[in-house]
Structure 1
Amino acid sequence: MRAVIQRVTEASVTVDQQVIGEIKAGLLVLICAMQGDDQTQADYLVKKIAKLRIFKDEAGKMNRSVSDTSGAVLVISQFTLAADTHRGNRPGFSTAAPPAQGEALYTYFADQLEAQGLVVQRGSFGADMQVRLLNDGPVTIWMDSAER
């Protein structure tokens, strides 16, 4: 699985002009299941993201996790993280998991973040979504479970 994690002061997702998920301070996580992924990859990313120390402590150092700060997480499915741009100018997405598998892993991933005690809001898998965020820092981190 691939993820882009952004530390935010606020974020929201809108579908058909209705806000369906919204958080204040915390993390916006864009997540993509790749072909061959299973719950093992999701579990790996959940543990890393829940404990990722990218929030400032009292000394101003990035030393606290979203769990430590009681922050929330907005999880958005984003198959375009599977983009292959090696040939030509049009990205290919054939390395993304098939939709049914992708949706199952997206749901599992978000459920497992909640099981870590985090407040989790979600986008709508496969929907045309508008995502708004105020990146804090900015702090943006890329993770790929295949690169562990």
Structure 2
Amino acid sequence: MIKMNLNFRNTKIDEAIRENSKRSSMILDLVNTTSWITDEKLFFGREFKNRLEVTRIKTPFTTILPTLIIVFKKKDLQNPKLRLSFFGYAWFSILLLIFLFVIIKKIIDPDFQGDLAFTILLVSFFFLLFAIEFYITKKTFNRLKLRIKE
């Protein structure tokens, strides 16, 4: 998980999150966060007993990007953490297993016809998508910071 810091009071952070989020009844790992209309909202959010989770509202053009979820612990809203959604972890794990399989198979059987370059390209493509989503999520998070009223 990647940590981010906020230097505001917890009540102000909580208020800003609630004002800038649409409520979701589904867990954010499974919810479709695509919308043309944002209503000036930045995130889809879900509240749990001890934490708040938000994810960026995506446009239909950015649905290919993996979903990043920002997790705020209710006791410590100052230090939210960033994590991939379930499907992001699943795709990364599958690509990593394919990559490891090709490398091991190539070492064991030098005549193996598997294409290592293609596998590296797939893993690199996932990292590129992750980097783009991280950049956009970070920009959205910074917009949330600007909306926090002291």
The structure with more radius of gyration:
2
TM-score, normalised via structure 2 length? 0.28
Q: Which has the higher strand share?
A: 1
Decide which structure has greater helix share. Answer: 2
Q: Which structure is higher in RCO with an 8 Å CA cutoff and minimum separation 6?
A: 1
